[in-house]
Amino acid sequence: MTDRLRILHLSDTHLYGDGRLQYGLVDTLAALDRVLARAGELDAVDLVVASGDLSDDGSAASYRLLRDRLEPWAAERGAVVAYAMGNHDLAEGFEEVLGAREATFGVRGFRVVTVDTTVARAGYGLIGEARLERLREALAEPSADGTVVVLHHPPVPPTTGLFETLRLVDPGPLLDLCAAGDVRLILAGHYHHALVTEAGAGGIPVVVAPAVANTTDVLQPPPHQRAERGAGFALIELPADGPPRTHVVRAPDARDGETVYDLDADAVARIAAGAGWTGAS
């Protein structure tokens, strides 16, 4: 057991195996390197979390790029790495390079459980009974200092309109399981902006990490959806007893704030029609 768990939480790296630029503009690998350089100023880390959309093309090469950066960085600090599947990730490449899509392991008295929220060829998230049962079994016995659950789709409502149909569908059963167990913290990504909130009975802390690839403009009025250049991470300290303390840290670049995409209502509707929740699984 320990008095705290220090977590470097990053998400949505959107790497390409062939070095392509995201939207023809953003070098996501360079953004990841910038994030890790900034995070390298930390004096200690116990757990590195990468909460989905790790790849944009789903290639094994993209996952190797991620692994070959994160794992040496973590090993130098005596930390372990938790990977979660996102809607842009493909199972074959993920499993070939990073291992199982869902995992349970211990870190200094805390338990970490990754949950796969993805639906093939869809942007929304859904947790079926088989995944819920696996989480139920993982939480059956309490761990020394509690459990951290890692998934991609946040179990809290989105801030911007694009994610309304790309959200986690019916998060209630997941949150009920977490509240009934010893879950102290839920870590997610997907929204491409930082969010610190609570969910479920008793108010389980939820931290959504800022994306590495680009940043959602949360002040953009609907129906537009805008993203800009910008990368960052969350630094979380989870004590053995008490609430987590979260800091959101930028990894700045001279071109931060430039528009990456600006979607009008028709573009958002097309994405919803192609990848969003329609009410049928």
The per-residue pLDDT for range 117-159, each reduced to its tens digit, is 999 999 999 999 999 999 999 999 999 999 999 999 999 999 9
Query: Nearest-CA neighbor of 92 among 126, 118, 73?
Result: 118
Residue 281 has pLDDT above 50, yes or no: no
What percentage of the chain reaches a pLDDT higher than 90? 95
pLDDT tens profile 197-209: 999 999 999 999 9
* pTM assigned to the model: 0.97
Query: Nearest-CA neighbor of 164 among 268, 8, 47, 262?
Result: 268
Residue 235 has pLDDT above 60, yes or no: yes
pLDDT tens profile 34-90: 999 999 999 899 999 999 999 999 999 999 999 999 999 999 999 999 999 999 999
Strands (DSSP E) found in the chain: 4-10, 47-51, 80-84, 104-107, 110-114, 147-150, 183-188, 195-199, 204-208, 215-216, 225-228, 232-239, 245-250, 259-263
In this prediction, residue 122 carries a pLDDT of 97
Residue 33 has pLDDT above 70, yes or no: yes
Average pLDDT over the chain, rounded to an integer: 96
Going by pLDDT thresholds of 50, 70 and 90, the confidence category of residue 280 is low
How many CA atoms does the CB half-sphere of 20 hold within 13 Å? Answer: 15
Going by pLDDT thresholds of 50, 70 and 90, the confidence category of residue 279 is confident
SS3 29: helix
Measured distance CA(249)–CA(211) in Å, rounded: 11
233 contacts 39 by C-beta, under 8 angstroms: yes
Residue 25 has pLDDT above 50, yes or no: yes
Average pLDDT over residues 182-189: 98
Going by pLDDT thresholds of 50, 70 and 90, the confidence category of residue 222 is confident
Query: Nearest-CA neighbor of 160 among 228, 244, 114?
Result: 228
Q: Name all domains of the chain by residue range, CATH numbers in brackets.
A: 4-275 (3.60.21.10)
Measured distance CA(125)–CA(2) in Å, rounded: 34
| Intra-chain end-to-end CA distance of the chain, in Å | 41
Quickly count: other Cβ atoms within 10 Å of residue 238's Cβ.
24
pLDDT tens profile 238-267: 999 999 999 999 999 999 999 999 999 999
Rounded to 5 degrees, φ, ψ at 266 are -65, -40
Helices 28-39, 60-76: inter-axial angle, 10-degree rounding = 10
CA angle 104, 105, 108 (to 5 degrees): 145
Q: For residue 121, is it left (φ>0), alpha (ψ between -120 and 50) or beta?
A: left
